[in-house]
Amino acid sequence: MEQGLRSDGNNPPSIDKTRVLDVKPLRCLAPVFPSPNGMSSVSTPQPSPFVCVPPTGPFPPGVAPFYPFVAPNDSGRPGESSQQTPSGVPNQGGPFGFAQPISPVPLNSFRTPTTANGNSGRSRRAVDDDDYSNSQDQNDQFASGFSVHVNNVEDSGTGKKRGRPKKPRRAQQAEGLTPVEVDVEPLLTLLLTSFKLVDLDQVKKADGDKELAGRVLLVFDLFRRRMTQIDESRDGPGSGRRPDLKASNMLMTKGVRTNQTKRIGNAPGIEVGDIFFFRMELCLVGLHAPTMAGIDYMSVKLTMDEEPLAVSIVSSGGYDDDGGDGDVLIYTGQGGVQRKDGQVFDQKLERGNLALEKSVHRANEVRVIRGVKDVAYPTGKIYIYDGLYKIQESWAEKNKVGCNVFKYKLLRVPGQPEAFKVWKSIQQWKDGVASRVGVILPDLTSGAESQPVCLVNDVDDEKGPAYFTYIPSLKYSKPFVMPRPSPSCHCVGGCQPGDSNCACIQSNGGFLPYSSLGVLLSYKTLIHECGSACSCPPNCRNRMSQGGPKARLEVFKTKNRGWGLRSWDPIRGGGFICEYAGEVIDAGNYSDDNYIFDATRIYAPLEAERDYNDESRKVPFPLVISAKNGGNISRFMNHSCSPNVYWQLVVRQSNNEATYHIAFFAIRHIPPMQELTFDYGMDKADHRRKKCLCGSLNCRGYFY
């Protein structure tokens, strides 16, 4: 957000303990959005800190989409989109710099959805050894991600080849055991039903909004993560099955997509600053249609004939594009350079290159998506929607190997929220080239975490939150005694997916709960992590919540809600954020304590849990944590009725003793500097109510 980037150059004052001590805890209240409606998402000067959720009431049984996102219509006038023509691109004429309105002609037509055949196969419940009693119902089946089907018949005569035949697979296959095949079709169907994405009408497919785009992306990611988990459990780590492609393919063939109509200008529902981790995500929400090509364009009808105009580009750095200062982008045309046989050719003025050339003269706005390296995972890439640009000029030049390439100079349209520039600033803070403005303490953890967490206030004079002791983990006065202890594992090198001998994987229903990137692969009622009696090292994948936060976080003063938590690093959907540290106290035994996590409250369920689990998420242990006197960064996470963070119960046990923990994971991709919030849940004790002014459309009006 922009306030984070102001540079007025004063040095951070040293901390004054006497003032700090008297400050009241303030993790409450006050609106975040000045105006709940009528603001165009395009012209809003800064990105909304929260994505919002429609007002479904506290917990409606089986009605509205359970995890929706607020939909400020792109036009800001919700009723109007239905009045547009079915081909539906609003012609605003003016903004494109044309004398006449453009009437765009989409080059593609709708793909007919193919009907999915339900695969047959003998159904079997996954191994499920949860050690609290009444979880062996449908509930747990859903929470662990649907049932598992075993194909005993090899491909049943369809003749369909899958995977690569080359490398021999390890584990089961190598030993000649029956490979476990999971039919993912019903899994997807269930997700689509839960999120009301079955039979999207043509209008919604053609033109989206924020709420719909959010749902599509959420389902894609949930599905993709689950398929990653299934693939790995069958083939072991490193199975190159491209779950991203498979997931998006299945969604697209079912017509689960939006903004399929190409348009010049912003894609409805996609905000400047939004981030993506797969090219396919750009396709699904119509931000950029081609799966690989960097230039998207459409045929536009002008006075007499049609001509192609560029609508969006992806700058991935593959052609040594010059990043410039953040408002300028030098973009290289497509084609020419890479050939299989090593031969190189001149680029031709056709396709995307031609469209960009035309767009120079028409001066239309072009969406720009900037690809950057994912620092947390160098082989991955992150795509940042950086808003609208206009092409100032174009030219041809010789590249290093002497071929002609086209170059285009793009200038960012002023008045848009900062996006890529935020990333640049953060990089400068990290490199020490520039200093973060308003830093009160460089590291409020005093080195207790692997990364510093700075305390920042750039909005007023307050010198810090009330004094507390920083403790990085949870304090138990007495561990819980397990009635049915689970065995510990013997994975010396760390638990590996697909290892059917690993006791901890068995406890988790046969799946490793986390990906190699620290992403939670499917939500569960309870996750069994490795404990002190396990043989695996501390960096084992099944100890995700034990290693402290991975992202670079900061505690900052919000405008109206006291102190809050946010991240300098982008966080992928499902990514681990931190544990709720503090002191375990007796349930119900708190009154004047604003730093409580109470697992016995009623919480909005996530994904497919909704329909049958209306009451509450089941908690096998009445865990209540107070972080009033001591805690970690999560004590600063504010409440929101439409949060971007979700908690997940985790148990670590060794022998017959266990400790339960609360681990926080990102619900969706979270761009840098967006405040992290979770839902505090509902309490039966009315007197604990506080007024909530989080401003989201589905705000319940209060929280606890």
Give residues in contact with DNA (CB under 7 A). Answer: 107-108, 111, 162-166, 237-242, 244-246, 248-249, 252-253, 260, 262, 278-280, 283, 289-295, 298-299, 308, 313-319, 321, 331-332, 334-335, 351-352, 371, 379-381, 516
Q: How far is the CB of 477 from DNA (least distance, A)?
A: 42
**Is 622:600 a contact under the CB 8 Å cutoff?**
yes
Q: How far is the CB of 126 from DNA (least distance, A)?
A: 23
Nearer to DNA, 122 or 400 (CB): 400
Residue 81 φ/ψ, nearest 5 degrees: -65, -30
Q: How far is the CB of 149 from DNA (least distance, A)?
A: 20
**Is 37:72 a contact under the CB 8 Å cutoff?**
yes
Q: How far is the CB of 107 from DNA (least distance, A)?
A: 4
Q: How far is the CB of 8 from DNA (least distance, A)?
A: 36
Nearer to DNA, 48 or 332 (CB): 332
**Is 653:168 a contact under the CB 8 Å cutoff?**
no
Nearer to DNA, 342 or 483 (CB): 342
Q: How far is Cα 702 from Cα 691, in angstroms, rounded to an integer?
A: 4
Q: How far is Cα 679 from Cα 237, in angstroms, rounded to an integer?
A: 34
Nearer to DNA, 90 or 237 (CB): 237
Nearer to DNA, 244 or 607 (CB): 244
Nearer to DNA, 1 or 368 (CB): 368
Q: How far is the CB of 312 from DNA (least distance, A)?
A: 12
Nearer to DNA, 48 or 233 (CB): 233
Q: How far is Cα 342 from Cα 448, in angstroms, rounded to an integer?
A: 52
**Neighbour-count burial for 527-552, b at 16+ CB within 10 Å, e otherwise:** bbbbbeebebeeebbbbbbbbbbbbb
Q: How far is the CB of 103 from DNA (least distance, A)?
A: 16
Nearer to DNA, 315 or 632 (CB): 315
Q: How far is the CB of 570 from DNA (least distance, A)?
A: 14
Amino acid at 74: D
The pairing of strands 306-315 and 275-276 is unpaired
Any long-range contacts for 555-558 (C-beta under 8 Å, 24+ apart)? 555/444, 555/453, 555/454, 555/455, 555/456, 555/465, 555/633, 555/636, 556/4, 556/455, 556/456, 556/457, 556/458, 557/456, 557/457, 557/458, 557/459, 557/460, 557/462, 558/32, 558/459, 558/638, 558/675
Burial label for 623, CB within 10 Å (0-12, 13-18, 19+), is buried
Q: How far is the CB of 246 from DNA (least distance, A)?
A: 5
Q: How far is the CB of 429 from DNA (least distance, A)?
A: 22
The pairing of strands 122-124 and 148-150 is antiparallel
Which one, of 492, 581, 580, lies nearest residue 539 by Cα? 492
Specify the DSSP element, H or E, that contains 354.
helix 351-362
Residue with tokens 């072991």: 236
Nearer to DNA, 337 or 536 (CB): 337
Q: How far is the CB of 163 from DNA (least distance, A)?
A: 6
Q: How far is Cα 29 from Cα 694, in angstroms, rounded to an integer?
A: 7
Nearer to DNA, 116 or 685 (CB): 116
- How would DSSP label each residue in 449-487? SSS--EEE--SSS---SPP-EE-SSEE-SSPEEPSSPPP
Q: How far is the CB of 433 from DNA (least distance, A)?
A: 21
Nearer to DNA, 315 or 634 (CB): 315
Nearer to DNA, 400 or 478 (CB): 400
**The tokens of 398 are what?**
């010789």
**The tokens of 186 are what?**
């019903």
Rg (CA), the chain: 26
**The tokens of 322 are what?**
């010059």
